[in-house]
């Protein structure tokens, strides 16, 4: 990608009005101790960069701020210890943010979310209203996962993903992920930061498996976050959280870190189906149905269904898989797993005879279906 196109993409960042900044534990609590001077510097940087902008922070660091107070010497591994450490650390983390922003006259607000909150569309819309109200009041919402009540199966897992879901929820212009790395490196070499990645698939080829020591997410989780934000029409920049005045520099369109330019935004409901809603089950479809979905954007009819897995009600979000197990789409099922079991392989005009009623001719209507792989 040429330098000119990098400059023209970067120029758009200065116009960002609504920013989500994600800060990882590797920046806020390196070595497992909350670094209050870094928090103060970041707050000064963000307050200056976002004086006339709306700012939302997604902050990790609860577990890292709490485990020593719990008498543990290293970051806990067991989920229950992490939950307890997060409960101890979260108020400490918030106090640090609150003090740091008070120096700049900005109140902060704690918002803790779970995967369950993002799974329920009404709760999600409530969260959006609350965030909007906070932004209207000039407050800085500081979001973290509600670790002490999330359990393994329904954990969001990492704040990279949470920050992207938040960016999508509020339709941020920019998601800035600040971490221990300076951006995406060409071939994994830290001396070669790639400054512009227009195509996420290309980015995957540069990913090396591995994680930073303190944070949860590696590069792969960051790229998953990029694709969620991408679908919401947000630009994403991944940059080093320790670099001086990094937020001001990114918003001044300086070429720093890696920029993933925004994609065309899809509807908020489809984004919710594709990323936030929890998958309750799966259906396996035949090759003809798979082609109809991928090539024609068609609805999924019972005739193409071979098998059904999991237990779900009508209205549940399910995954659609091909015979070889590849997940190709997600959608809202018009029928429960039991009902699909009875009508699978049949024509739509046999639904009423088989079940005694017919809610819909499709198992998943095209408006309720989101492809999770690129259309052919």
Residues of the shown chain interacting with ligand GLU in the complex, contacts defined by CB under 6 A:
24-25, 60-64, 86, 144-145, 147, 158-159, 215-217
Q: How far is the CB of 145 from ligand GLU (least distance, A)?
A: 4
Look at residues 88, 13, 96 and name the one whose alpha carbon lies nearest to residue 59. Answer: 96
Beta bridge partners of residue 121, listed in sequence order: none
Nearer to ligand GLU, 24 or 302 (CB): 24
Which residue lies nearer to ligand GLU by CB, 25 or 182? 25
**Is the CA virtual torsion 41, 45, 46, 51 positive or negative?**
positive
- SS3 (DSSP) at 350: helix
Shortest distance, position 281 Cβ to ligand GLU, whole Å:
28
For residues 61 and 141, which CB has a smaller minimum distance to ligand GLU in the complex?
61
The Cα 335–Cα 257 span in angstroms is 46
Q: Give the residue with the Cβ less far from ligand GLU, 56 or 333.
A: 56
Q: Nearest approach, Cβ of 111 to ligand GLU (angstroms)? A: 13
For the bound state, the minimum distance from the C-beta of residue 355 to ligand GLU, rounded and expressed in Å, comes to 44
* CA angle centred on 224, ends 220 and 230, rounded to 5°: 140
Provide the CA 342 distance to its chain's centre, in angstroms.
Answer: 36
Six token digits for residue 32: 């497992």
The Cα–Cα gap between 335 and 318 comes to: 11
Q: In what order do the strands lie in the sheet with 108-113?
A: 108-113, 140-145, 54-59, 18-23, 174-179, 235-240, 258-260
Question: Rounded to the nearest whole angstrom, what is the least distance from the CB of residue 183 to ligand GLU in the complex?
Answer: 18
Min dist. Cβ of residue 159 to ligand GLU (A):
3
Q: How far is the CB of 337 from ligand GLU (least distance, A)?
A: 33
- Between residues 158 and 337, which has the closer beta carbon with respect to ligand GLU? 158
Query: Of 49 and 93, which has the nearer Cβ to ligand GLU?
Result: 93
Residue number with CB closer to ligand GLU (13 or 64): 64
Residue 216 CB, nearest approach to ligand GLU (Å): 4
Q: How far apart are CA 115 and CA 162, in angstroms?
A: 9
Q: Give yes or no for a contact between 315 and 340, defined as CB atoms under 8 angstroms apart.
A: no
371 φ/ψ sector (left φ>0, alpha ψ -120 to 50, else beta): beta
Q: Which residue, 32, 46, 20, is CA-closest to 215? A: 32
- Gap between the terminal Cα atoms of the chain: 25
User: Which one, 118 or 333, has the nearer CB to ligand GLU?
Assistant: 118
């Amino acid at each position: 990608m040429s330098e000119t196109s990098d400059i023209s993409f970067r120029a758009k960042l200065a116009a960002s009005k609504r920013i989500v900044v994600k800060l990882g534990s590797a920046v806020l609590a390196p070595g497992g101790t909350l670094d209050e001077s870094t928090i103060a510097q970041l707050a000064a940087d963000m307050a200056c960069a976002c004086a006339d902008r709306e700012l939302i922070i997604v902050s990790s660091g609860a577990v890292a701020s709490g485990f020593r107070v719990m008498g543990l010497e290293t970051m806990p591994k067991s989920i229950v210890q992490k939950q307890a450490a997060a409960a101890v650390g979260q108020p400490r983390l918030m106090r640090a943010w609150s003090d740091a922003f008070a120096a700049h006259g900005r109140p902060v607000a704690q918002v803790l979310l779970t995967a369950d909150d993002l799974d329920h569309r009404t709760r999600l819309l409530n969260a959006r209203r609350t965030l909007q109200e906070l932004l209207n009041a000039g407050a800085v919402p500081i979001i973290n996962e509600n670790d002490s009540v999330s359990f393994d199966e329904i954990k969001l897992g990492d704040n990279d993903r949470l920050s992207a879901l938040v960016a999508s929820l509020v339709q941020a212009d920019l998601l800035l992920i600040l971490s221990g790395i300076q951006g995406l490196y060409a071939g994994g070499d830290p001396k070669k930061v790639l400054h512009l990645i227009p195509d996420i698939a290309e980015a995957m080829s540069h990913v090396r498996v591995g994680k930073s020591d303190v944070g949860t997410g590696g590069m792969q989780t960051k790229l998953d976050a990029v694709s969620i934000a991408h679908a919401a029409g947000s630009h994403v920049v991944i940059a080093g959280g320790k670099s001086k005045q990094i937020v001001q520099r990114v918003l001044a369109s300086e070429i720093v870190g890696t920029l993933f330019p925004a994609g065309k935004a899809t509807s908020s409901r489809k984004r919710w189906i594709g990323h936030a809603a929890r998958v309750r089950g799966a259906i396996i479809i035949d090759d003809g149905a798979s082609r109809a979905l991928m090539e024609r954007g068609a609805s999924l009819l019972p005739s193409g269904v071979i098998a059904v897995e999991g237990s779900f009600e009508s209205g549940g979000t399910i995954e659609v898989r091909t015979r070889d197990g590849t997940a190709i789409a997600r959608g809202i099922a018009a029928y429960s797993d039991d009902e699909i079991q009875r009508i699978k392989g049949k024509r739509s005009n046999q639904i009423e005879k088989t079940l005694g009623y017919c809610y819909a001719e499709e198992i998943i209507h095209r408006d309720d279906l989101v492809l999770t792989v690129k259309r052919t």
